[in-house]
Structure 1
Amino acid sequence: MTTTDTTKTAYDLISPELRAGLITMVREDSWPEMTDEQGERGVTQMASFLATAAGTTEKATPSLRVDVFWHAFVLHTKSYADFCEALGCGFIHHVPDRNSGPNPEEGRAAMRRTAHLMREAGFDTDPEFWPADGAADCTQSYAGCSDSPVAK
């Protein structure tokens, strides 16, 4: 399967209506200046992140921008559960880690590992959603969120 086919498959598991709703929700809750095009790319990056998380036993950590889309998606419990089931992995749990304290260096390293896993899985990583080393907004607002590879 090519990168385009893989990304399209994960993205297509989210209906156009739900994608539009997620974009609206993210715009209203945390990113008011986001364009529709950025929103579509955000949904694509989130779907790619979740498909990667579904296919690995390693901990996957989203960037802050990907995480806001994941938060919005999780609130659509039925659609989110259906998406996870369609990936064939069971429910992908969202696991916040508020106890370890913010550590920008660790956050950047975790995101680099996750972006690498995504590329290995055949997905493209959008630099606006996976900031380069040293970018100011590349770690979580608190210690971070990840999937739960043990709980799969």
Structure 2
Amino acid sequence: MTATTLTTATRTGRSLVTAAEFETLAAFCAEEYGLERCVAEQVVDQALALVHVMGTSGEGASMAPSQSVDPGWHTLILHTGWYAEWCERSFGYFLHHQPNSKVRTRGLMVDVVGRLQAAGFEVDERLWGTAADCNPPACCGDGPCC
């Protein structure tokens, strides 16, 4: 008798767009927000996953990006025509960004990370302020680690 292990493959936010679209978004994010390219790629990846989960779950009002991921969502929105088409194609409606940075608590970020993971996305917890070794560039700014 052989034991089989079932593994659930995770997906990335980057997988939700074409390579050319991701390249455009990551390059813009790096330039516009002064991020190293590798960081901008992670930020855009996480923003795509977040917006997708917000849009497909219909629970966007109860979710928010971390301070580190927010530039990724701004990057998406600033590509207005593309963003509108992507929203329509991905979940059937335009998902508005209604900022409220005062709700960025560690508890909310942990909840958002859990929702992203439940939807099958890879999560870079350093960008959400939920990593065990939290540090200032990765924290959302409300905990003792910052």
Structure 1 equivalent of residue 65 of structure 2: 62
Structure 2 equivalent of residue 84 of structure 1: 87
TM-score, structure 1 length as denominator? Answer: 0.70
Larger Rg: 2
Cα deviation for residue 39 of structure 1 reads 1.0
Structure 1 equivalent of residue 118 of structure 2: 120
Instruction: Show the 5 A alignment for 1:29-40.
Output: 34-40=35-41
Cα deviation for residue 107 of structure 1 reads 1.5
| Structure 2 residues not aligned, in runs of 5+ | 1-7
The change in CA–CA distance for 1:97 and 1:17 in structure 2 (over 3 A counts) is: closer
Match of 2:63, SS state, is: coil
Return the alpha-carbon distance in structure 2 between the equivalents of residues 120 and 90 of structure 1. Answer: 22
May I ask how many residue pairs the two structures share in their alignment?
128
Structure 2 equivalent of residue 108 of structure 1: 106
Cα deviation for residue 18 of structure 1 reads 3.2
Return the alpha-carbon distance in structure 1 between the equivalents of residues 112 and 23 of structure 2. Answer: 26
Structure 1 equivalent of residue 27 of structure 2: 20
Structure 2 equivalent of residue 149 of structure 1: none
TM-score, structure 2 length as denominator? Answer: 0.73
- Specify which structure has the bigger relative contact order, considering alpha-carbon pairs within 8 angstroms and separated by 6 or more residues: 1
Aligned CA RMSD, in angstroms, stands at: 2.7
